[in-house]
Amino acid sequence: MVDPRLFGEIDPPQRLLMGPGPINAHPRVLRAMSADLLGQFDPEMTAYMNQVMALYRPVFGTENHWTMLIDGTARAGIEAALVSLVAPGDTVLVVNFGRFGLLLTEILARIGAVIERVDAPWGEVVPMAAIAQAIERTGPKLVATVHGDTSTTMAQPLEGLGALCRAAGALSYVDATATIGGMEIATDRWGIDVVTCGLQKCLGGPSGSAPITISEAAAAHIFARRHVEQGIRRADISDGAGLRIGSNYFDLAMIMDYWSDKRLNHHTEATSMLYAARECARLVLEEGLETRFARHAAAGRAMTAGLRAMGLNVFGDDAHRMTNVTGVYIPDAVDGERVRTAMREHFEIEIGTAFGPLQGRIWRIGAMGYNAMKHKVLLTLGALEACLVAEGFVLPVGEAVPAALAAWHAW
C-alpha cells in the first residue's frame, strides 16, 4: 500500500496554456466548482439544470428546447450524438478537413455506419458545392462535420449546410468544441440538427462536460429509438419502435428524459461540472456574444501579426482561419520540441505541437477564452521570440510585440 504521505498536496505550476486547448479556466468557473454538492433531484439542483438549458440556447444560437449537458469530455458529446443518431448500416457523409473529421469516421466505424467522405487537404476547407455534390452522390441519412478543427486551425463554413441536408432528407451534426464561445455558432440559422461542444477552449472551463443542442427533428428521430433500461421503466415513458441505441451511457433518449420534467433516473449528474458549465455560459452572455467574438478575433489577428513580424510563416488558408488557434511553421534547423520545452521551463507558457502530416512541422498557438487577452498574446510572442533567438534563429528582434499591438488595436 502506498503511503499517502509520500505525495504532497496538488500544487501545479501556474502555467499559461496558449496551445490549442485546454486553456486556463476562468477563476469564476473554478470558484463555482467549489460550491456544495446537491442531490440530483433536489429542487435546487433541477432548477440549476433548467438554468443551464436556458443559458446555453443563446450560446448555441438556437431556440431548441433540448439544449443540455452530456457528462464527459467533448468526445462524450460527439459519441452521444453519433450513437443516438446513427444505426448500423446507415450511410453517413463526413465532411473531413483534419484530425477531428477523421475522429468522426473512427466513431462511426465502431457504430457500423456506411461511411462516405468529402475531403479537403489539411489547411483548407471543403467548398459547399463539393458538399452538395457529395450529398447528391451518397444519399446519406446524416451529414457530420467539425466547425473548427484545431489540428489544422481551419473553420469550415456552415451557412447553407442545413438546407442542403433537409432537401436531401438527411439530418446534420456539427462538432463545435473548438469554436463555441469564440466564433459564432448559429445553429438555427445554419439549420443544423445537433451541435456538441466542450468547455475547455473558448468557453474558458475545464474539460469534463459536453453541452449539446438537439433540433425537434433530431429529437423525434432519437425518441423513435428509445428503449428504457429495465430497472428504471415507468408507465409514463414508452419505448420507440426503432432499433435500440447502442450505448446505455450515451443514450440521448434516456438522457433527454433525465433532463425533462420526467427526471428519469438515468445517471447521477456531474454536479460540479454542471456548476462549471453554468458559469461558463454566464460569463459568455455577460460579456456579450458579439463583443466576445470580436475579442477572440483581435487576439487571433494580433497573434498572427506578431508571428509574421518575426519572419515566421503562418499555416493554412487565411480566409478560413479559426480566430482562436494559429498554426505556424517551425523554422528549418529549429528543434520545435526544444523551443516548446524552453517556453515551459523559462516562461511557464505552453504552446501546442501537431498531429498527423503536420507533426513536427507546425506549432499551434491558441488565444481563447480567459487567455484571449492582449497581455497574454504579447507575453507569448515575447517568450517565443526569446526562445527562437536562443536556438540561433535569426529574426527581427523587437518587431513582434509592436506588430501584435497594432493588430489588436485595429479592433
Cell of 59: 450560446
Q: How many CA atoms lie within 13 A of 30 on its CB side?
A: 6
State residue 7's pLDDT score. Answer: 84
Question: What does the pLDDT read at residue 115?
Answer: 98
Domains 27-285 and 289-408 are alike in CATH topology: no
Structure confidence at residue 393 (pLDDT): 96
Q: Is residue 262 scored above 80 in pLDDT?
A: yes
Please determine, for residue 314, whether its predicted confidence score (pLDDT) is greater than 80. yes
Q: Are 331 and 315 in contact (CB under 8 A)?
A: no
Question: For the residues 122-150, what does the mean pLDDT come to?
Answer: 98
The pLDDT, as a whole number, for residue 1 is 64
Overall fold of domain 289-408: Aspartate Aminotransferase, domain 1 (3.90.1150)
Residues near 276 by Cβ (< 8 Å), separated by ≥ 6?
A: 25, 29, 32, 33, 199, 205, 206, 208, 209
Count the helix, strand and coil residues of the chain and give each as a percent rounded to the nearest 5.
45, 15, 40
Mean pLDDT of the 362-381 span: 98
Mean pLDDT of 310-328: 97
- What is residue 3's predicted lDDT score, i.e. its pLDDT? 76
Q: Peptide bond before 140: cis, by omega within 30 degrees of 0?
A: no
Q: Using alpha carbons, list the distances in angstroms from residue 110 to 62, 101, 259, 329.
A: 30, 15, 27, 34
349 vs 354: CA distance, rounded Å: 17
pLDDT digits (tens, 9 = 90+) for 56-90: 999 999 999 999 999 999 999 999 999 999 999 99
Q: Roughly how many angstroms between the first and final C-alpha of the chain, as a whole number?
A: 58
Q: Chain-wide mean pLDDT for the chain?
A: 97
Find the mean pLDDT for residues 154-159. Answer: 98
Task: Give residue 276's pLDDT band: very low, low, confident or very high (50, 70, 90).
Answer: very high
Mean pLDDT within 337-356: 97
The DSSP element (H or E) to which 94 belongs, if any, is strand 91-96
- Burial level of 137, CB count in 10 A (0-12/13-18/19+)? exposed
Neighbours of 98 (CB within 10 A): 27
Q: Name the architecture of domain 27-285.
A: 3-Layer(aba) Sandwich (3.40)
How many other CB atoms are there within 10 angstroms of residue 102's CB atom?
A: 18
| pLDDT-based confidence at residue 411 (cuts at 50, 70, 90) | confident
Are 174 and 147 in contact by the 8 Å Cβ rule? The answer is yes
| Residue 214 φ/ψ, nearest 5 degrees | -135, 125
Rounded to the nearest 5 degrees, what angle is found at the Cα of 367, between the Cα atoms of 357 and 363?
Answer: 25
5 pLDDT band, cuts 50/70/90, is confident
Query: Tell me, what's the pLDDT at 233?
Result: 93
Domain coordinates in residue numbering, the chain: 27-285, 289-408
Cα angle for residues 391, 395, 400 (degrees, 5° grid): 110
- CB-count burial class (<10 Å; 0-12, 13-18, 19+) for 266: buried
**pLDDT of 47 higher than 80:** yes
Does residue 4 surpass a pLDDT of 80?
no
| C-alpha distance from residue 102 to each of 22, 119, 146, 195 (Å) | 20, 10, 10, 17
pLDDT tens figures, 175-212: 999 999 999 999 999 999 999 999 999 999 999 999 99
Q: How confident is residue 2, by pLDDT bands cut at 50, 70 and 90? A: low
Percent of the chain scored above 70 by pLDDT?
99
